[in-house]
Amino acid sequence: MKIGELSTATQVSRRLLRYYEEQGLIAPKRSQNTYRDYDERMVDRVFQIRGLLEMGFPTRVIRQILPCLDQERVIHMNDVTPEMLSMLEAEASGLDEKIRFLVKNRDAIREYIAEVRQRHTVPTGA
């Protein structure tokens, strides 16, 4: 897939995709005419990167933990610091709290929907 296709599939600009490449977050193959050629798996990778950036992770940390999100689980430990481990532990705890919050809200919404359906005839597509 070309950079424009990846950009469309992920809603991430070509410029930002090039930045991710510069930061070592994604690595396209190069065709004979030197065009970037992205594997289909890069769509998920870009979504992972976006999510980690939205959580406040810097790209240097994302580069370290991205391999942990792959099935192969190759972990690079060349410049892991105690501070980085502490930050990752705090992030993991924060994610646990967010997950509990999301599950609670999801369950409340489902209960509300069930109650409304029980009391009123509401079309299922509404």
Residue 77 confidence class, pLDDT cut points 50, 70, 90: low
Task: Determine what percent of the chain is predicted with pLDDT higher than 90.
Answer: 39
What's the average model confidence in pLDDT over 69-85? 67
Type and span of the H or E element at 100: helix 82-119
Helix (H, G, I), strand (E, B), or coil: what is residue 22?
helix
Residue 31: predicted pLDDT: 81
Torsion sign (Cα): 70, 13, 22, 20: negative
Residue 112: predicted pLDDT: 92
Residue found under tokens 């933990």: 65
Query: What amino acid is encoded at 99 in this protein?
Result: I
What does the pLDDT look like over 3-40, one tens digit per residue? 999 999 999 999 999 999 999 999 888 888 888 899 89
